[in-house]
Amino acid sequence: MANHKSAKKRNRSSEAKRARNRVRKNAVKNAVKKLRLNKDKKSAGEQLLKVTSLLDKLAKNNYIHKNKAANLKSKLTKHVTALK
């Protein structure tokens, strides 16, 4: 356990950041999952724009790696264009 004042503060801030990161990463997971389950091409296309925007924002702020965001966007775009 932390003994110094600064170490205790670091623990508190790390826990707060961890909670924020988990919320953001779970939001991405849920959005991607909903998009993959969507069978309607038109609504999936609209949803893709929102998910792409979310991925870009998270990559910009280093919550996820930029290449992971690019890979997800590519796969999701491929999925949406394959829908009928």
Domain boundaries, given as residue ranges, for the chain? 5-82
Question: Domain spanning 5-82: which superfamily?
Answer: Ribosomal protein S20 (1.20.58.110)
pLDDT of 64-75, one tens digit each? 999 999 999 999
First vs last C-alpha separation in the chain: 57
pLDDT of 46-63, one tens digit each? 999 999 999 999 999 999
- Asked whether 59 and 69 are in contact (CB, 8 A), the reply is yes
> What's the CA gap between 44 and 41, in Å, rounded?
5
What residues contact residue 58 under an 8 Å CB cut-off, 6+ apart?
A: 24, 25, 28, 64, 69
